């Protein structure tokens, strides 16, 4: 039996609202993922450092503060600098539909809005990681 996928759920920046992040973390855990929740107010570098230390397959960001146009690219860049180009970056929160393309162009694989069924996130992540295949170490 293969090891479960490892995922970080992170709250970068100054946003202090973490209910949605905790709901997603629990749904992923209940679906068999190993989940590491980083807590509030993480820097992009801290998220990437934790991703490296925990040898994760994916990083999920929760952003409600409006800083998604700077935080998603900063986390992607920090992951890439750590040699983690194959780690999927996804997230959700209050992110206007018009910014989804900007985030995708910067390396974000998926964005989920408020009210997204957690089953859809679980299904997407399982599919995306299955298609990606094993991480390259």
Question: How confident is the model over 79-127, as pLDDT tens digits?
Answer: 999 999 999 999 999 999 999 999 999 999 999 999 999 999 999 999 9
- Residues contacting 32, CB < 8 A, separation 6+: 4
Average pLDDT value for residue range 2-27: 93
3-class state of residue 116 by DSSP? coil
Q: What is the pLDDT of residue 97?
A: 95
The CA-CA-CA angle for residues 108, 34, 8, to 5°, reads 35
Give the pLDDT score at 81. 98
Helix (H, G, I), strand (E, B) or coil at 85: coil
**Mean pLDDT across the stretch 54-62?**
97
Domains of the chain plus CATH, in order, are 6-132 (3.40.50.280)
| Edge-to-edge strands, sheet with 34-37 | 34-37, 6-10, 58-63, 88-93, 110-112
- What are the helix (H) ranges across the chain? 19-30, 44-54, 68-81, 100-105, 118-132
* C-alpha torsion 74→78→28→34, nearest 10: -160
pLDDT-above-90 percentage for the chain? 91
Q: For residues 34-70, b (16+ Cβ closer than 10 Å) or e, as one string?
A: ebbbbebebebebbbebbbeeebbbbbbbbbbeebee
């Amino acid at each position: 039996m293969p090891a479960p996928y490892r995922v970080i759920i992170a709250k970068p920046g100054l946003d202090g609202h973490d209910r949605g992040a905790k709901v997603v973390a629990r749904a992923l855990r209940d679906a068999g993922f190993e989940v590491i929740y980083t807590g509030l107010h993480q820097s992009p570098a801290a998220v990437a450092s934790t991703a490296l230390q925990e040898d994760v397959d994916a990083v999920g960001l929760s952003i409600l503060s409006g800083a998604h146009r700077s935080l998603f690219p900063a986390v992607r860049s920090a992951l890439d600098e750590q040699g983690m180009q194959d780690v999927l970056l996804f997230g959700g929160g209050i992110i206007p539909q018009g910014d989804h393309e900007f985030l995708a162009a910067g390396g974000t694989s998926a964005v989920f809005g408020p009210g997204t069924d957690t089953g859809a996130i679980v299904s997407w992540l399982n599919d995306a990681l299955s298609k990606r295949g094993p991480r390259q170490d």
